[in-house]
Amino acid sequence: MIAELALKRLRLHRVWWLVSPQNPLKSRADMAPLEARLAQAGRFARNPRIEVTALEADLGTTYTADTLRLLRKRFPSTRFVWIMGADNLLQMASWRAWPTILRSVGVAVFDRPSYALKALSGQTARRFARFRIPERQGRVLTRRRPPVWVFHHTLLNPVSATHIRTRARIAS
C-alpha cells in the first residue's frame, strides 16, 4: 500500500522494495530466510513499477546509510527517495548514521496506525523539523536538495509485516 501511495503522491517512476538480508535491530531467529521474504514480498508487489529486490545483499550492505551511499555513487544522476512508515521514523534515531540518511536523500514518511503523534514528536522529526515540507508538496521531494522530508497522512492499514508473518505461521 505504501509503495503504491509513494508512486502516486510523490510522482515516482519506480519503487525499489528493498528486502533486507538482516535487519541490524532484529534477531536472526526472528527473521525468515531472505529468499522466503523476497518471494512473499513479490506476491504483494503487483505493480510493474514496484521492483522487489535483495539489493542490499547484492551490495553487501547492512545499514541504510551505507546502502544509500553506494546507490548514489553507482547512480549519480538518479534522485532517490527513502520511503518508510511512521514506525521507522520513530525509531530512526537508533539507526547507524541516521542523520546521514536525511542529509543524503529526500525522505517520505507514511503514517501507520497509532504512530503519527509519537513519530512527529520523536528525536528524528524534532531534529529535522525545519526541513519538513507540507504534504501537498510531496511531489517536489525529488527536486529538492536534502535534507528534505514529508509526512503523509494516509488511510491507516493495520496490516504489518509482523501481522503477515504471524498469519503465515498459523496457516502452515
* Virtual torsion, Cα 24, 22, 85, 167, nearest 10 deg: -120
Q: Give me the pLDDT at residue 156, please.
A: 65
Cβ neighbours for 92, distance < 8 A, ≥ 6 positions apart = 84, 98, 101, 122, 123, 124
- pLDDT value of position 47: 95
Q: What is the pTM of this model?
A: 0.86
Q: Show Cβ contacts of residue 146 under 8 Å, excluding neighbours closer than 6 positions.
A: 102, 103, 104, 105, 106, 131
Give Cα separations from 31 to 56, 83, 92, 165 (angstroms). Answer: 16, 21, 20, 9
The confidence score (pLDDT) of residue 32 equals 85
Outline where 45-160 has alpha helix (H): 55-59, 64-74, 86-91, 98-104, 116-120, 123-127
Q: Could you confirm whether domain 2-171 is CATH 3.40.50.200?
A: no
Structural domain spans, the chain: 2-171
- How high is the mean pLDDT in each 10-residue block of the chain (172 residues)? 94 95 75 89 93 95 95 95 96 96 97 93 98 96 96 74 52 56
At 164 the pLDDT is 47
